[in-house]
Amino acid sequence: DGGITQSPKYLFRKEGQNVTLSCEQNLNHDAMYWYRQDPGQGLRLIYYSQIVNDFQKGDIAEGYSVSREKKESFPLTVTSAQKNPTAFYLCASSPPGVNTEAFFGQGTRLTVV
């Protein structure tokens, strides 16, 4: 049963803490993405990776970091430098090339307490 798994579903962070969101896919996709979704807004791209050991900043990368050591995994760390981290985070993957559909995980809701 192929798909994208994000964990945890809910995450609470204290001020000044770093937290890591997990994203794993078994679709054998080369490209993986992290998006942030805020109420009433479209998804905004944080980071993306087209291939293992390579990743690029998206539109709102400040305060976030990623790694891509394995094809299946693309974890996102929300650092203490991210001043407004409360949001819904979505991970996606797609096959290589253009005109390919993106597949999304079920999301992680991060709340600062």
Partner 1 sequence: KQEVTQIPAALSVPEGENLVLNCSFTDSAIYNLQWFRQDPGKGLTSLLLIQSSQREQTSGRLNASLDKSSGRSTLYIAASQPGDSATYLCAVQDGGFKTIFGAGTRLFVKA
Residues that bind partner 1 (CB under 8 A): 4, 6, 33, 35, 40-45, 48, 50, 58, 88, 90, 92, 98-99, 101-107, 109
Q: Chain centroid to CA 69: how far?
A: 15
Q: Name the residue nearer to partner 1 (CB basis): 33 or 55.
A: 33
In contact, 46 and 64? CB cutoff 8 Å: yes
Q: How far is the CB of 87 from partner 1 (least distance, A)?
A: 13
In contact, 99 and 40? CB cutoff 8 Å: no
Q: Which residue has the tokens 């394995």?
A: 70
Q: How far is the CB of 84 from partner 1 (least distance, A)?
A: 18
Q: How far is the CB of 75 from partner 1 (least distance, A)?
A: 17
Query: What's the chain's Rg over C-alpha atoms?
Result: 13
CA–CA separation, 47 and 59 (whole Å)? 8
Q: Name the residue nearer to partner 1 (CB basis): 22 or 103.
A: 103
Q: Name the residue nearer to partner 1 (CB basis): 36 or 71.
A: 36
